Amino acid sequence: MGVTDWLEASALGVWTRESPSIWAYPTILTLHTIGLGMLAGANAVVDFRLLAFAPRLPLSSLLPLYRFMWSGLAINVVTGVVLFVAEATSKARQPVFFVKLTVIALALATTVKIRSSLLQDPAIEHSGTIPRRARQLALLSLLLWTAAITAGRLMAYLR
């Protein structure tokens, strides 16, 4: 018996998958969607700011948004692990699941890069023009988070 069989047969796996309770699979899945909205949504705010859609928005005032991103990420790591445990054998065989994990890793790296190198750069804040590198990173972030959502959604359709 492999690790994924063991996970799926665990008490947590069985409860998540088989409990008729609204608090089992339905609520965990809904929390995963709320976490997605917090993480990708707050990211989009920063990215569109860096793409000059809202030039009057002070970059440094967006720093508290990262609390919402990290909260969304925490919700989705926990709920994502539980959702995986519930259907470990089939999900571990889905190529799109590994595409999703890879894309999320790249997207997170981009988010961290933007947070550490751009949001506290006084040159960007006060010059009024956004350097090419910042715009490229913002566009990359938007594309990667969109790809992460797409891969996640396609897990329900591609076997």
Partner 1 sequence: MDGFVAWLEATALSRAVVGHGWVWPLCETIHFIGLSLVLGIAGFFDLRLIGFLKRVPLAAIRDLMPIAVVGFVLNLVTGLAFFIGMPHQYVRNVAWWAKVCCLLLAGLNALLFETLLGATRSLGAGDDTPLSAKVIGAVSLASWLGVLYFGRMLPFLGNAF
Which residue in the set 9, 14, 60, 74 belongs to the binding site for partner 1 (CB under 8 A)? 60
Nearer to partner 1, 92 or 143 (CB): 143
User: With binding defined as CB under 8 A, does residue 19 bind partner 1?
Assistant: no
Q: How far is the CB of 40 from partner 1 (least distance, A)?
A: 4
Interface with partner 1 in residues 117-136 (CB under 8 A): none
Which residue in the set 1, 11, 123, 156 belongs to the binding site for partner 1 (CB under 8 A)? 156
Which residue in the set 10, 17, 44, 78 belongs to the binding site for partner 1 (CB under 8 A)? 44
CB atoms within 10 A of CB 110: 21
Q: What number of chain residues touch partner 1 (CB under 8 A)?
A: 38
Closest among 157, 40, 154 to 104, alpha carbons compared = 40
User: With binding defined as CB under 8 A, does residue 95 bind partner 1?
Assistant: no
Contacts of 75 (CB under 8 A, 6+ apart): 31, 32, 34, 35, 38
Closest among 1, 157, 8, 150 to 85, alpha carbons compared = 8
Which residue in the set 10, 17, 62, 139 belongs to the binding site for partner 1 (CB under 8 A)? 62
Which residue in the set 80, 85, 91, 145 belongs to the binding site for partner 1 (CB under 8 A)? 145
Give the distance between the most distant pair of CA atoms in the chain.
61
User: With binding defined as CB under 8 A, does residue 26 bind partner 1?
Assistant: yes
Binding positions for partner 1, rule: CB under 8 A: 22, 25-26, 29-30, 33-34, 36-38, 40-45, 48-49, 53-58, 60-62, 64-65, 145-146, 149-150, 152-154, 156-157
